[in-house]
Structure 1
Amino acid sequence: MGCATATIKYLVFLFNALCALLGLGVIVVSSLALKDVIDETRPLIIFFIVIGSIVFLISFFGCCGAIKENVCLTWTYATLMLVLLILTCVLSFAYLNRIDEKAVSKNTLDKAWDKQKNGTDAMSIWQSSLHCCGVNGSSDYTSANLAIPASCYAGNGTANATATPPAKIYTEGCLSSLINAYAKSLKYVKLFAWILIGVEGAAFLFATILAITFNNEQRRSRY
């Protein structure tokens, strides 16, 4: 095996390791983001978890193909990397980068607020987790002639104004809090997605070069 072939072989090993680590990173970050994102985007985050899992698993083909210098395994790995690269690019360009955090957050809270006005405490899940009150603030309740719920109060939802000291109402509205939380969660998912695209592209390139090299060496050995 020539020096160039050995170098490419080790590069395939390196990018396999990076792909495996990034695959695990995407799984962890996307799993953590699931608790903050809303129902409309959960399928997208789950799909990234699936892609991360697949990237981690198919790195096995790259390792085996490089170790055994097997043309079939190496081409299988390169093909799978190409498919994953296309899927990751489609998700990042067509879906992930086009998500409007403000519009999605507003739509979610508008639905919750409509239920709240109809007697269902739909805002409590957001108010308790984000430490906020109402869509734009506690004045939303007074304007709608509604009692401020316990989830708007600091201190584990203790809505007792006569307590010593009195319970404090969250001053920030849930819309801005949800937008910030949603943007923060997606930021890390986007970061790992773009890094994954770069590593997948490099892994596909080097695996293709290595497969062609193995194929040429097998062809020369027959003569």
Structure 2
Amino acid sequence: MGCTTAIIKYLVFLFNSLCALLGIAVIVVNSLALKDAADETRPILIFFIVLGSVIFLISFFGCCGAIKESVCLSWTYAISLLVLLILTCILVFVYAKRIDGEQVAKNVLDDAWNKQKNGTDGMSFYQTNFHCCGVNGTNDYTNAHLTVPTSCYTNSTTTTPYTVGCLTKLEDFYEQALKLVKAFGWILVAIEAGTFMSGSILAISFNNEQRRSRY
């Protein structure tokens, strides 16, 4: 094995290690987020979980191909990465851009507020975690002839409820979350592109060495 091929082989190992760690991180983070996710965002979280699993498996095949110096495994690995790269680009540049954070926040709170009016404490989770009260403020409870719940207060001794409505808080949250998803997607695309290039070059190097060995 030549010096250039050896360098590329180590690069493949490096990128594969990054991809494997990234795949595990994607699975863990999105699995945790899936529990309290809105219906509109569940598909993208599930897609990321599947994507993380596929990234981890492909990284494993890439390591096997590099260790065994198998042309077949190396090309299978490179082609799989190309397909994965295309899917990631579609997710980041097409699907993620179609998600409207403000509309998602409105739909989530409309559902929670309807539950609240029907006697179920549907707003408690958002009011406690986002330090807000009602959809647009405490007037929502007054207008609906409802008692302001304890989740609208900092603690049991506080007499003044949160003044900010949960819609504003949730819109900001989803806006920041979508920015993080897009930034993470860019990082994922960059790592996958680098891994695909190094994997393709390694497969070509193995193929050339196999061809030279026949003569």
Aligned 1:46-61 pairs, distance under 5 A = 46-61=46-61
Q: Shift of the alpha carbon at 1:133? A: 0.7
Q: Deviations over 1:53-101 (max 9, x none)?
A: 2211221111111121111111111121111111111111111133111
- Aligned-partner Cα distance in 1 for 2:52–2:79: 17
Equivalent residue number for residue 188 of structure 2: 196
Percent identity of equivalent pairs: 66
Q: Aligned residue for 2:34? A: 34
Question: Corresponding residue for 2:19?
Answer: 19
Alpha-carbon contact 1:37-1:182 (below 8 Å) kept: no
Alignment size in residue pairs? 215
1:135 maps to 135
CA RMSD after TM alignment? 2.0
Unaligned runs of 5+ in 2: none
Cα offsets for 1:24-70 (capped at 9, x unmatched): 22223323433453122112112101211221122111111112111
Partner of 1:162: none
Match of 2:177 among 179, 185, 193: 185
Deviates most, 181-190 or 55-64: 181-190
Q: Assess if the C-alpha contact under 8 Å between 2:101 and 2:178 holds in 1.
A: no
Query: Which of 195, 201, 205 matches 2:197?
Result: 205
Residue 3 of structure 1, CA deviation:
2.2
Q: How does 1:129-168 map to 2 (within 5 A)?
A: 129-155=129-155, 158=156, 165-168=157-160
The one-letter code sitting in structure 2 at the alignment partner of 1:185 is: A
CA distance in 2, matches of 1:92, 1:30: 15
For 1:124, the aligned partner's letter is: S
* 1: CA distance, partners of 2:96 / 2:55: 19
Residue 214 (structure 1) shift: 0.8
| Ranges of 4+ aligned residues in structure 1 off by more than 6 Å | none
The SS at the match of 1:195 is helix
Contact 1:26 1:193 in 2 (8 A): no
SS of equivalent to 2:200: helix
Where 1:170 maps in the other structure, the secondary structure is coil
Gaps of 5+ in 1: 159-164
Q: For residue 101 of structure 1, what is the aligned residue in structure 2?
A: 101
Q: CA deviation at 1:22?
A: 1.6
CA contact (8 A) 1:105 1:175 kept: yes
Q: 1:175 corresponds to which residue?
A: 167
Please state how far the C-alpha of 1:140 moved relative to its aligned partner.
1.4
- In the alignment, the residues of structure 2 paired with residue 27 and residue 194 of structure 1 have an alpha-carbon distance, to the nearest angstrom, of 17
The TM-score with structure 1 as length reference comes to 0.87
CA positional deviation for 1:2: 2.1
Q: Partner letter of residue 84 of structure 1?
A: L
